[in-house]
């Protein structure tokens, strides 16, 4: 039997929270509401949660801080929803590790579509997109494509968000080839939550930071002026 995906909605406005909950439940998701960070932490400690819908403007710890904290400890899929619709707010949300950003007010159908798209990316609920088996190996690093794990040269696991993993896989599979931002969006079939070039730039920046923190000897992803990005390490497919 297919499991029901559990979504935690962190929203301090009870009317908005209930509206989101009703629409998610109507689309066969299990939903739990939290009003602030402490309640969210208690629920995460005692429940399996597959995805978080996170408001930015919360009492106490705000959504940006929560997202940064969650991302530092794992790859929990996160969609930020916020009444703040300036480009800088979207950029900050993505930079701290959100997988997607949806400005308020939004059509509930769009939220459902974003949730389903994110679940397809992480192969949790719903119908998942095909994921190739085997490994991609470069300079001692290994990407396990089916398990969606990245190990550095010391065999330590490097935590990547679903969007980061998908982007790295597309780049690594085409090592030595310059890919434009539009090509990267197309090749990932919209699975990285990026709808424009600026979002791609943010994801690349996050990837570089994580690869560097994991011990990459040099910058594996090269920026090509007026071109896009190129993965420069030699890559071998194993399996």
Which string of DSSP letters, residue by residue, matches 153-189? TTSPEEP--HHHHHHHHHHHHTTT-EE-HHHHHHHTT
* pLDDT, averaged across the chain: 85
Domain boundaries, the chain: 6-122, 135-238
Q: Does the pLDDT value for residue 125 go beyond 50?
A: no
Q: What angle do CA 22, 74, 3 make, to 5 degrees?
A: 45
Residue carrying the six token digits 């594996």: 220
Give the least confident one: 49-63, 123-137, 180-194.
Answer: 123-137
Give pLDDT, residue 114.
Answer: 86
Give pLDDT, residue 35.
Answer: 96
Model pLDDT for residues 205-218, shown as the tens digit of each residue: 989 999 999 999 89
Convert 80-113 to b/e letters by CB count within 10 Å (16 or more is b).
bbbebeeeebbebbbebbbbbbbeeeeeeeebbe
Segment of 86-90, 129-133, 147-151 carrying the highest mean pLDDT = 147-151
Give pLDDT, residue 136.
Answer: 93
| DSSP conformation class of 141 | E
Residue carrying the six token digits 């550095």: 152
Q: Does the pLDDT value for residue 137 go beyond 90?
A: yes
Q: Which fold has domain 6-122?
A: Rossmann fold (3.40.50)
Give pLDDT, residue 202.
Answer: 85
Q: Does the pLDDT value for residue 129 go beyond 50?
A: no
64 close to 96: Cβ distance less than 8 angstroms? yes
At 128, the pLDDT band (50, 70, 90 cuts) reads: very low
Q: Does the pLDDT value for residue 124 go beyond 60?
A: no
Bridge partners (DSSP) of residue 135 are: 144, 238
Handedness of CA 53, 58, 64, 66 (dihedral sign): negative
Q: Does the pLDDT value for residue 130 go beyond 60?
A: no
At 121, the pLDDT band (50, 70, 90 cuts) reads: low
Q: Does the pLDDT value for residue 60 go beyond 80?
A: yes
Domain 135-238, what architecture? Orthogonal Bundle (1.10)
Handedness of CA 22, 79, 85, 56 (dihedral sign): positive
Residues 6+ apart with CB under 8 A from 86: none
At 85, the pLDDT band (50, 70, 90 cuts) reads: low
The residue among 71 and 159 whose pLDDT is bigger is 159
Model pLDDT for residues 138-194, shown as the tens digit of each residue: 999 999 988 889 999 999 999 888 788 889 999 999 999 998 888 887 777 555 555
């Amino acid at each position: 039997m297919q499991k029901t995906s559990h979504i935690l909605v962190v929203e301090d406005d009870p009317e908005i929270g209930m509206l989101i909950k009703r629409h998610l439940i109507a689309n066969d998701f299990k939903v739990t509401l939290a009003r602030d960070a402490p309640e969210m932490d208690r629920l995460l400690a005692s429940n399996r949660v597959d995805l978080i819908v996170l408001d930015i403007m919360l009492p106490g710890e705000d959504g940006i801080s929560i997202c940064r904290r969650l991302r530092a400890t794992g790859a929990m899929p996160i969609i930020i929803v916020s009444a703040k619709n300036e480009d800088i707010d979207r950029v900050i949300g993505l930079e701290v590790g959100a997988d997607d950003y949806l400005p308020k007010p939004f059509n509930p159908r769009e939220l459902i579509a974003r949730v389903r798209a994110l679940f397809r990316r992480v192969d949790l609920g719903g119908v998942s997109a095909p994921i190739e088996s085997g490994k991609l190996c470069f300079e001692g690093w290994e990407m396990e494509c089916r398990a969606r794990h990245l190990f550095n040269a010391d065999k330590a696991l490097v935590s990547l968000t679903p969007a980061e993993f998908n982007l790295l896989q597309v780049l690594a599979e085409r090592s030595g080839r310059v890919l434009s931002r539009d090509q990267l969006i197309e090749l990932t079939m919209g699975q990285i939550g990026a709808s424009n070039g600026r979002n791609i730039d943010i994801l690349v920046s996050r990837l570089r930071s994580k690869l560097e923190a994991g011990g990459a000897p040099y910058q594996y992803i090269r920026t090509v002026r007026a071109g896009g990005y190129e993965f420069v390490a030699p890559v071998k497919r194993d399996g």
